[in-house]
Amino acid sequence: MNETTNDGSNNKKKGVSKGIIAITIIAVLAIGGAVAAFMLNNLSLKDSYFLAEQKSMEFMTDRVEERYEPELDWYEHSKENATESKIDLSGEYNVPTSEAAYGGVDPSQIINNSNITITAATDMKNKQVSTNIAASIGGFEVNDVNLSFTNEKLMLSLPFIEEVIQLKDEDLGPLLYEIDPASFTGEETLELDSIFEGNGGLSEEDLEYFKEEYGKMIYDQLPEDAFTSEKETVEVNGESINAEKISMQLTEEQVKGILTAVFDKLEKDEKLKELIREQAALQLGGTAAVDPEVDQLLSDFETAIADAKTGLADFQIPNGFNSAIWVENDLIVQRDLSIEMGPSAEELVSFSVKGGQLLKDATQFFDYNLGFAEAGNESIINIAGDLSWEDNKATDKISLTADEFSLTYNGNETLADGTRDFERIFTLDDTTTSGSFNWNGSATYNNDQMSSENSFSVESPEITQDMFALHVNVEGKTIDKVEMPAEDNVKDLGELGAQGTMEYFELEVVPSFQEWLFTTMAGSGNF
């Protein structure tokens, strides 16, 4: 029963319903996706359905890994060995002086005579990073800037002070609390360890946990008689294919039963809550154990799950959940997925995925429509791609189109003797603006070293491609070890405390910077 009251309770109920719809759609999609990671050896129709999902995902992953094997090998090498990357950045500005000059200054004279060099040495195993920065900006030289850190501390060297400024990870919280106890708890950290541990995402152990705890549970909840099969000929990208159509049809009760089981587990899953706490703390820059924002986020999550469970009882899913895939040689060639749900017959929301794909060794094609309809309003997002990699040559096109908006990627690549030449163009087009972002260059990977040349430019009705460009050249090599700053002359901010730190910057750092700036500017002839 949907009642309207003067206190606005109906609005609150509708808001909860929207949340339930969002959570439910995500959970329902897990029925067609998360289970793909959990397979049994005894192939029933249910097994065949999810085996096709799994093999299709693995096929695309394998093709990407094969195509970009040199880049991926270097990435893995850099995780296991100490490496050094030298990055040179420079600009190119070709706007006529009469159009660009401002206040008698020609921007091209500054931009075309400037460059920045960043030399970064990393050792992920020993948890060390040292970065040197040098810049020349229109004759103004800046050198001897170094930012280094381990999993325990951060160090900064500047050209205008002799000592190395140091801040230990464990000292950040107490320092901030001393400065502003109302805003900080004293438990804040720099989270430096997360850089080396890869805590920015889920670990293999965490992914395995979700696969076993949720993938297996959903898989077991799906009834065998929900799956049927028949032979059917379909046409995909102009090809006629004799495929096996495997359909999964779940009734309203079955969908609600599966979702209830998922929500029950989510509600009691302490490991999941701890992962949410850790990831949220990482994003917010605090500490998971005490951060009030993290506590609030976790509380909101628990409330959302409880509301979803409560609202699910009255939810309507009139046609259940329907998903059909057409399979050839264990790979999906076409799919049709749909679900309609809502708190009442007048508030139904529908979601659908329809389209096809052809996955071959040399070419991969896909074309899908994602549909969403509510209260008579329907929107469709089309995602299409045509990828080709044959004889070490690539021609790719990927597009995302919605109403009058489109985003397109066009790429061409060749790989010869370890060098990849490429041109990549990202084009945006809608009713108000259009333009492209262009990236072209080459990259060479040779065992324990690499190099690349990259040029970036933009193009629009008002800007031609040759008006402005950013050039980025990279050279990488393997090194014996990372050279960290000497620690015989260190100014430790934690030992100074809040008052000492403020006095240090006010009485020593700022005056030294001002003197250095005046001397450097005078020496450059720009002052």
pLDDT at 366 over 90: yes
Higher-confidence residue of 26 and 176: namely 176
pLDDT band at 284 (very low <50, low <70, confident <90, very high): low
Cα→Cα distances 242→325, 329, 356, Å? 13, 10, 14
Question: Domain segments of the chain: what residues?
Answer: 19-151+192-488
CB pairs under 8 A, 24+ apart, for 197-203?
Answer: 199/278, 199/282, 200/282, 202/275
Residues 371-387 pLDDT 10s: 999 988 899 999 999 99
Contacts of 350 (CB under 8 A, 6+ apart): 338, 339, 340, 341, 371, 372, 373, 374
Contacts of 24 (CB under 8 A, 6+ apart): 259, 308, 312, 315, 341
Q: pLDDT value at position 509?
A: 96
**Residue 459 half-sphere exposure toward CB, CA atoms < 13 A:** 11
- CB-CB contact of 393 with 387 (8 Å): no
Burial class, 431, CB count within 10 angstroms (exposed 0-12 / middle 13-18 / buried 19+): exposed
Q: 468: closest CA among 94, 1, 174, 10?
A: 94
Calpha distance 485→432 (Å, rounded): 51
Mean pLDDT score, 45-57: 95
Residue 369 identity (one-letter amino acid): N
- CB-CB contact of 450 with 443 (8 Å): yes
Q: pLDDT value at position 9?
A: 42
Taking all residues of the chain, what is their mean pLDDT, rounded to a whole number? 87
**Which uninterrupted H or E stretch holds 329?**
none
The answer to which of 72-86, 182-196, 497-511 has the lowest mean pLDDT is 182-196
The answer to which of 7-21, 113-127, 267-281 has the lowest mean pLDDT is 7-21
Calpha distance 24→30 (Å, rounded): 10
Other residues' Cβ atoms within 10 Å of the Cβ of residue 313: 8
Q: pLDDT value at position 265?
A: 92
Token digits of residue 454: 């990259």
Q: pLDDT value at position 189?
A: 84
Token digits of residue 480: 């014996």
Other residues' Cβ atoms within 10 Å of the Cβ of residue 26: 10
- CB-CB contact of 1 with 343 (8 Å): no
Q: 461: closest CA among 432, 439, 440?
A: 432
Q: What percent of the chain has pLDDT over 90?
A: 63
Token digits of residue 250: 């779940």
Q: Specify the 3-state DSSP secondary structure of 298.
A: helix
Residues 500-524 pLDDT 10s: 999 999 999 999 999 999 888 776 6
pLDDT at 209 over 50: yes
- With tokens 């950013």, the residue in question is 470
Q: pLDDT value at position 14?
A: 43
